[in-house]
Amino acid sequence: MLVANATLVSVRVSLVLGSSAVSTLGNLFVLVIFSRSVGGGVRHRIVDIILAALALTALVRALLLGPIQATCFITGEWSFGDSMCQLQAFTEAALRNTFIWYLSLLSLERYTKHVLPHEYLLTFSPLTVNVILPGILLVVVVQVTGPLYGWGKYEYLEECGLCGSATPSRFGCVYGAFLALCLGAPPLAVAGVCGLRLAARLGALPKRRLPAANSRLLCAAPREMPSVVALLLAAATLSAPRSALDAAAACAPAPLFAAYLLDGLAAVLLPALTLALHPGARALLLRRAPVPEVVL
């Protein structure tokens, strides 16, 4: 029994540290590309601003959760104090939901760019995106503060190695359902629907007629739409179980580790797809070859 428990702990620690390391390095890679494109005097692209916000959110989350989760699995307990437990759970919930909402913003931006191009400049600009991004963060932060004021409760979840929504707690079930229906489901649904519409658009157009990506990261038009579709659909699929189980766990005990792991893997998708489908991103990082600017 002790051997089985030790093996399970080793597997969980390896999975947590592996996904955290890949997410940290990969999203740092995307941020470096973005900062170098800015430093080179290239005009900000709207999609790159959103991608950088996604990468930054995923990077901070990986840096925060990976070491804490691995430490808790190894020690078998939470040893950082109750205040740190509340702060970690609140920060994780804020970062996770912010990532999902930024993903939905990316899906709307790409959908407008490819399906409704005549409305693109009327809807999106660097100024509007720079206002929307912190606005989303503010709204999310307000929504996840409920347990700090008695709506639900944050406590250590031994199965996950992290602090999160406790079961059961005062108003916890109602609050969990509210978060799932109002904070989690809408952006995931938007990302999924836009991803499917873009996939249909991709199948209907020959490659030579695909519109330009208008991005320094997604610089090859034939590869940009498949990578965006893959990012939207895969991220929505990986994040949906966590949203559903978080709501269920606020009402009754539920198995959460697998859902937490899948949700963490969603943060790896952006750097993985950037590296796999866009060699121009690697060239931009290493300054081996210039990436031509594409004008909208």
- 26-73 pLDDT, tens per residue? 899 888 776 665 444 334 578 888 888 999 999 999 999 989 999 999
Residue in this structure with the two tokens 């809408």, named with its chain if needed: 186
Give me the mean pLDDT over the 117-125 stretch: 86
CA distance 101 to 56: 14
Residue 133 confidence (pLDDT): 95
Contact 214, 293 (CB under 8 A): no
- 76-119 pLDDT, tens per residue? 889 888 889 999 999 999 999 999 999 999 999 989 988 888 88
Name which residue leads in pLDDT, 168 or 160.
160
Contact 26, 271 (CB under 8 A): yes
Helix and strand numbers (H, E) in the chain are 11, 2
Residue 210 confidence (pLDDT): 47
3-class SS of residue 41:
coil
- Closest Cα to residue 269, out of 93, 30, 6? 30
Q: What percent of the chain has pLDDT over 70?
A: 78
Start-to-end C-alpha separation, the chain:
62
Token pair of 173 as six digits: 């079930």
Whole-model pTM: value is: 0.85
* Radius of gyration, CA atoms only, the chain: 20
- Closest Cα to residue 206, out of 225, 191, 192, 193? 225
CA angle, 242 then 184 then 166, to 5°: 55
Category of 236 on φ-ψ map: left (φ > 0), alpha (ψ -120 to 50) or beta: alpha
Strands (E), the chain: 154-157, 162-165
Give me the mean pLDDT over the 211-234 stretch: 66
Give me the mean pLDDT over the 4-25 stretch: 85
Model confidence at 190: pLDDT above 80: yes
Confidence bin at 6 (pLDDT 50/70/90): confident
Q: Which of 14-23, 149-158, 178-187, 203-212 has the lowest mean pLDDT?
A: 203-212
CA 2 to chain centre: 36
b/e code 31-52 from CB counts within 10 Å (16+ = b): bebbeebeeeeeeebbbbbbbb
Query: Average pLDDT, whole number, for the chain?
Result: 80
